[in-house]
Structure 1
């Protein structure tokens, strides 16, 4: 039997062997693991380590320029100081340190700490606020204030110990050179930050032109041609330390600037149009309306100048307007409310393309075309009486004037309502005396649609309104959509809040609001009632009268040019239709409208104008609107241009806008007093340039080389 001490020694040696085996196995495992990490997987882990010490920062591209037809910059870029915060470093700070840093940044950029915090939240995370949250990379410094004063940026740069993880950098933002002091806000549009949905959609499409810090066109040509203007972002790789502090640049992929948009706008003409519209509105507000006994409200207005031969937009103005620079660097809630405020006149609404108004007597040339192509002749004579009775109502002439038996030319010259009432009533009796027949033919409605009214013109600007032809189909559809409301209203006992007129109207509408009566037809014949047009639609219609019947889709853009000056795309005028009116009738209407300028309702505003040298055709209009003052119109044209101006609640057409119309024509042809001086015209050669501006190698932009025809015309 072995002694106990020997047994204990064996057990001790066994334990030692086991421990040694365990230690050896651990060292072996460690050695194998180290070998795998350093040899087999070394390159992969080395790349990951390098990736943790290098970050990609998006370099925003310079947005493309927008220039006028002479190469003058309408929208350019300038540098702006932007304050950003590095969220990676913020995450390494204690709660108290982070709160204090956010507070300090909020103070220096003149914001609330809550607003700064809201910008730091990733879109989609709890607490994120739409259009405020951050869409970009988690490693990208988040902009919390843009367009800050240089002194603020220097304070951040010079005191890095007080602003750890806070960056002050210069970026490009939109600027508005305003040649000749123009505004052009509704044509140019504005930018705002990319939304979460837009960013997600771009990611799905692998669209590299958008990132979390991008701005996107929201209106005007900025929106219409956004993809050309925005360019492609670049990427700057920076080395950072363990605390996320930038140590230096690692590499740089340059951004690609956006392309230049050449427009058909002429800044010099635009300045005249804007000034005249604003001055006419301001003047009318000082004038007494003899009908209402108070001064004209003149609450809004618009003016359009088109190239009659191509439909290109030379100038377009709308009042009230806004400063396009208000969007640069972010717009305040108070400013945004004002832009949408009805009390302020809804400045964001472009009256030229989105405002819809009764055309009044400017409608009559199209009704003349409809009558002449449907049985009437240039020899037709009808009474221009002071009134015309339809049923139990007398439809009156303007100021109850009477001119005896006259033809179409005289009816246009003196703007006789009762002459056209008779035509509208005649067609109603012949084709649609059954008020409930919604399919009855109406030659005047057909002609209005032939000239493009009731549908969008197709201009290359977003948000265009279609106008409205208030025919039988529209009246039936409107009745069906409103019947329940008015029937319910008429069934209730009348209260003090409901006027006799409203109650009576509701009752009549409930019973027979779908019936197209003779009164609707005669109102339609003079541009009254429920038919509405935009100033741009009316301008296009008059362009068709000028150019022989061609309907063009109005265009603002002429070409897309690369940053190097290469023409990438020419945007040609687009023909959308041809009116089916014989040339002899167009010539007849043309002569009648020339007489409107010589001896008719526009003549008193053109006294002394050299109309033999610059032949202007025109039609005035005063549209009556229930509960409001009259809307004044003048639509005019020459062989080269169409000029239309209107003022809502401004009074008669020539009385409210006539002086402005004359001033625009003087600028277009270089008229000084009674003399035409083509060299003084706003546009060299007096006609829109066919060629594009010259893009030189040094980056400068020069006016187009004049066409020989333009030079010849200017020398006449």
Structure 2
């Protein structure tokens, strides 16, 4: 019986084992076979080629180049012994010229202990992690040729940004740059179902790279490969091709952009070698900007800022030292684009808009006022530039000679009539209202991120500023003056603590000539002068002109957008226009335009010098024709025409093809002078041809 029982148990166990084997191998065989196969399959994300950025003629401003990229398979690393893993990381780090500690940091998942933002991995933990871009070809080939020494190391070629620099163009603040996607951005994209980004994606951070990132980035592809136990690729399983990004056609003309950048840099260099008679030292000329805009559409043809930087420093990862310089005040904060983000007192370039406000609020074209050497407000004399006097004059002559005391009287008149109650923050002020009407104090709406709004320093602003700063200044005033506090600061703090909220007559007269706390961006000023030129239309400036697919099909044309039509009488605009023509002929800009064919080009201009406490004067020139607006400014560069006049002239000579006193339109930077209406022609192979041009066709 015992043997029978034992035999029964043995046969039962064998039967159970056989049934289980049958279930695993026959009934569930396909399922387990698939799971086993999936363990040896890796999914590799194939990054798309980012879209091109070209100028209005099709010249490439930003392209791509191929670079070697080294990635590590975290899954395989996790299966290795500690010794093998350490050996592999040391060997790989040596091959690509990287410290082992930094290599390990790149393999950490963002969110893990010790992970550093910008270094850690945002993507899937099951895909190879890119640890090095722009790897030298010799190092990449070594890894490829010795796979047994580099198990789990993937080497392939990917595209990164390249800057061809036609005509020496930099355009860093226009174009912007890219950097790796952050953990928060990736999670937000995944939550919204956006499949165009992944953990290895780079995204636009500034300029048009950021503004049009959605179009430029493309769609990633996915490649599944079979690997052995050591992580070596044995076979391709499937392949979903990446879709390249779309091309952005801009309104920029590279030839004019190159001229503008060169002239701005030269004017700054000359200013730094010029003695300032006021301070007795050379001009600092710490920054500057220039804008060329189509007057009839608001499209940006060129825009430059100084100091600038090389956008290629972001390619492949930026060093701490390079990043520190971009934000360094000692280096001039190169990352700040002065044309759209810099804010400066406009000086006398403000006066045409004050003229418009005055002529539509009680003053007439026949009004005449004294232009004395000074104008007294309370116990202070507000003076003309170099204390010049021009007798009894009208608005046109006041603009021509840039008479401060003429406009002081207008500002004081309105303050006395409507706002002598310094506590009334709602008091009427035609000059303030007019400045806002011309678009100052608000962003222009340009298709660039980070635009500054400027500031209208009116009664409401002064009250808000006082409320936010009174504790600080009253804290200084309530204590005895110490050696670290200058006499000026101590006196200012005492006055501000008592009545810093008050909008006094001095504020009003300063506002009338573009001084004081009112600030504008060069772009805002260019747009307002364009409105004088085109008859009263405020445009939202545009850099993007069209989006074109990789196969050459136009997906979207980016049309100019009107912000509003200014309801200013045409006779007022014509009057200001004619006065500004006289500024170029016989006024404050005339000495820089000797021999210039003004009658042929019909150039108008306004100069400006803005004084800032503790700094040298900021120089401005705003100029325009019926085709374009050209504005240039240099912070701490001296007088307007003195600091920028030669640069302004050179830009106009390039635009119209001027040689000496002759206009040679066949020599113009843009064929036919005005930009092409047609887009560049794109071939299906990705080649770019200039647009067919009919000289009679204009946009």
TM-score interval, normalised by the smaller of the two chains: over 0.9
2:405 is aligned to: 418
Determine whether 1:357 maps to 2:350: no
TM-score computed with the length of structure 2 as normaliser:
0.99
Aligned equivalent of 1:8: none
Q: Report the TM-score when normalising by structure 1.
A: 0.96
Structure 2 counterpart of 1:315: 302
SS of 1:405's equivalent in the other structure is: strand
Give me the whole-angstrom Cα distance separating, in 2, the residues matched to 1:688 and 1:656.
Answer: 29
C-alpha displacement at 1:316, in angstroms?
A: 0.3
For structure 2, the 5+ residue unaligned runs are none
1:168 positional shift: 2.2
Q: 1:161 to 1:46 in 2, by over 3 A?
A: closer
Find the aligned partners of 2:187 and 2:13 in 1 and give their Cα distance.
50
Deviation at 1:528, TM superposition (A): 0.1
2:118 counterpart of 1:113: no
CA distance in 1, matches of 2:9, 2:494: 101
| Gapped regions of structure 1 (runs ≥ 5) | 1-12
SS of the equivalent of 1:651 reads: coil
3-state SS of paired residue (2:75): helix
Aligned partner of 1:580 among 551, 561, 567: 567
Helix, strand or coil: the match of 2:623?
strand
Pair 1:700 & 2:683 matched: no
Asked if 1:135 is matched to 2:108, the reply is: no
- Say whether the 8 Å CA contact 2:349–2:621 is kept in structure 1: yes
**Whole-Å Cα distance in 1 between the matches of residues 486 and 342 of structure 2?**
29
CA distance in 2, matches of 1:136, 1:143: 10
137, 144, 162: which one aligns with 2:131:
144
Choose the corresponding residue for 1:466, options 426, 448, 453.
453
Q: What are the residue-to-residue correspondences of 1:219-368 with 2, within 5 Å?
A: 219-368=206-355
- Between the aligned partners of 2:179 and 2:567, the Cα distance in structure 1 is 45
> SS of the residue aligned with 2:42?
strand
Q: 34-43 or 419-428: which moved more? A: 34-43
The residue that corresponds to 2:485 in the other structure is 498
Q: Is the 8 A contact 2:147 2:232 kept in 1?
A: no
Aligned to 2:373: 386
The answer (yes or no) to whether the contact 2:225–2:233 under 8 Å persists in 1 is yes
- 1:372-412 Cα shifts (integer Å, max 9, x gaps): 00010111110000000000000000000000000000000
Q: Equivalents in 1 of 2:151, 2:41: separation in Å? A: 18
Q: How does 1:307-706 map to 2 (within 5 A)?
A: 307-706=294-693
CA–CA distance in structure 1, aligned partners of residues 357 and 491 of structure 2: 35
Q: Secondary structure of 1:460's partner?
A: coil
SS in 2 for 1:171: strand
Instruction: Report if aligned partners of 2:151, 2:230 keep a CA contact under 8 Å in 1.
Output: no
Q: Which runs of 4+ in 1 moved over 3 A?
A: none
Cα deviation 1:322-344 (Å, max 9, x = unaligned): 00000001000000000000000
Between the aligned partners of 1:329 and 1:698, the Cα distance in structure 2 is 27
User: Aligned to 1:161, what secondary structure does the other structure show?
Assistant: helix
Counterparts of 1:565 and 1:461, CA distance in 2: 25
How many equivalent residue pairs? 699
Query: SS where residue 352 of structure 1 aligns?
Result: helix
* C-alpha deviation, 1:232, in angstroms: 0.4
Larger radius of gyration: 1
2:123 touches 2:200 (CA, 8 Å); kept in 1?
Answer: yes
Is the deviation greater in 110-119 or in 550-559?
110-119
Whether the 8 Å contact between 2:370 and 2:391 is mirrored in structure 1 is: yes
Question: 1:201: Cα distance to partner?
Answer: 1.1
| Deviation, structure 1 residue 710 | 4.6
Deviation at 1:355, TM superposition (A): 0.2
CA apart distance, 1:164: 2.5
Q: Which of 193, 208, 212 lines up with 1:206 in the alignment?
A: 193
SS of residue matched to 1:353 = helix
Pairwise CA distance, 1:18: 2.8
- Give deviations 1:255-308, integer Å, cap 9, x for gaps: 000000010000000000000000000011000000000000000000000000
Q: Distance in 2 between matches of 1:414 and 1:24?
A: 116
Structure 2 distance, partners of 1:614, 1:141, is 61
Select between 198-207 and 584-593 the one with higher mean Cα deviation: 198-207
Map of 1:6 onto structure 2? none
Q: Measure the CA separation in 1 of the matches of 2:595 and 2:663.
A: 12
Alignment partner of 1:86 is 2:73: yes
**Aligned Cα RMSD in Å?**
1.2
Secondary structure of the 2:599 match is coil
Match of residue 59 from structure 1: 46
